[in-house]
Amino acid sequence: PEDLRGTGGGVLAGPPGQRAFERAVRHQLLRCRRYGEQAALVRCSLHGLSEVRSSHGPETADKLVAGILDGVRRRLRGTDVVAYVGDQEIAALLAHADMDAAKTTADAIRDAAQDLRVETSRGPVGTDASVGVASLVGAGSPGRAFADAGLAMNTPSGARPTGRFARRNAGVRFG
């Protein structure tokens, strides 16, 4: 999978990563419209990352994000794109994925984020994670797909808007 790393090999974060990811989503949206392809967007919120940053320093937080991205990358296919889009979030674009496949991948992304621990002088640290999934079919724009996946991530259990799915920690949450 494309990980949107810069030429220096570091994790590309913040606005540059968001712009590159948005371009990839925009391109996939066009393919969905033109060729009838299916695709999905996964958002993964990393809970506790700011606490790791403040308690253990930015280097530890960066190692954690890089490790999570590596774990996610290993779980994705070569056609998928993953990026740290900032604000304690990673996102993945799943080309040729229906919602069932996207749900399975979202679980793997959540597991990758929750399973990783970075050793510090005070012991291992990690994050908790929530994921939300939205279908790109009919999304209209990268912003709409991103918002739909965020809505799915934050929709209370029992509410099931069409084309959205979420899991928070170990509990099943549909959106």
Note the pLDDT tens digit of each residue in 93-116: 999 999 999 999 999 999 989 899
State how far the Cα of 42 lies from the Cα of 17, in Å rounded to an integer.
15
**pLDDT averaged over every residue in the chain:** 80
Number of neighbours of residue 20 by Cβ within 10 angstroms: 17
Quick check: pTM over 0.75? yes
Is the predicted pLDDT of residue 1 greater than 50, yes or no? no
